[in-house]
Each structure stands twice: as C-alpha cells, then as structure tokens.
Amino acid sequence: MAIWNKRRTFLGAVAALSLGIGLGRWFYRPRQFDNPWVEQTATTVRRLLPYLRIDEDGLARFAQDLLARDQHALLRRATAGDAQAGAWLGQQFLLSSDFFWHGADEAKTVGYRAYYDPYKLPCANPFAHWE
C-alpha cells in the first residue's frame, strides 16, 4: 500500500504541475504591444522592410507616434496592400529612424529617433554634410 500511495502522490504532483504550466501558458501570452493598431503598424513595417533589423522598442514608439497623428486610414490601406500607402509608411519610418545617419548600412540595427516632420525639422537632411 505504501508504494501505491507514493506513486499516486507523484503522479498527482506531475499532473498538477503540467496543468499549471499549461494554464499559465494559455493565459499568459506575452504581447509586445497593447494596442492592436500599434501591433498592426509594426507588422506592416516589418513586412515592408524585411531586409532590415529593426529595434522593436523603437518600432513600437514609431507606431504610437504615427497613430497619434491619426493615420489609421493610411495604415488600413498599407495593410490591405496599397503600394503607395505602403511606400509612404516605409519611407516615413526610414526618415524617422537613424538608417540614413549610419550611411544606409543594412547590417546595423535601425533605431527610431523621432517622428519625421519636415515642417518641424526642416534641416534634418541626413545627406547634408556641414563643414
């Protein structure tokens, strides 16, 4: 009887542990983004620029800044496959990042600097070298 009791206790503990891990994984699904619009923006930018290594935190900040400027319609068009909206979104991300500041080096991780607005920052030409 003592062996049966130990075996039953062991199997019960294994079953409880497995159930706990399974439920923990089911309920705790780590999401990088809280807002579905931000997640959709990040996914679209990654799809448009698959050859770049992009800083995920910077991409999330870019998406938040983009949506703060009420660009939901543009994002819907880019997600649906509109080439012009997709090109604008990719261009906006690259101009807002440090990609051109590092000589358009695709081997470096692209970090987000600030949302590019030519009216607020007109002299931010990364190709101009002031001497």
Domains in the chain: boundaries: 1-30, 36-110
Q: What is the pTM of this model?
A: 0.64
Given a cut of 70, is residue 33 above it in pLDDT?
no
- Tell me the three state secondary structure of residue 92: helix
Q: Are 54 and 46 in contact (CB under 8 A)?
A: yes
pLDDT for residue 131: 52
> Quick one: pLDDT band at residue 37, thresholds 50, 70, 90?
confident
> Quick one: pLDDT band at residue 28, thresholds 50, 70, 90?
low
Taking only the tens place, the pLDDT of each residue in 57-80 is 888 888 888 888 877 787 888 878
**To which H or E segment does residue 24 belong?**
helix 2-27
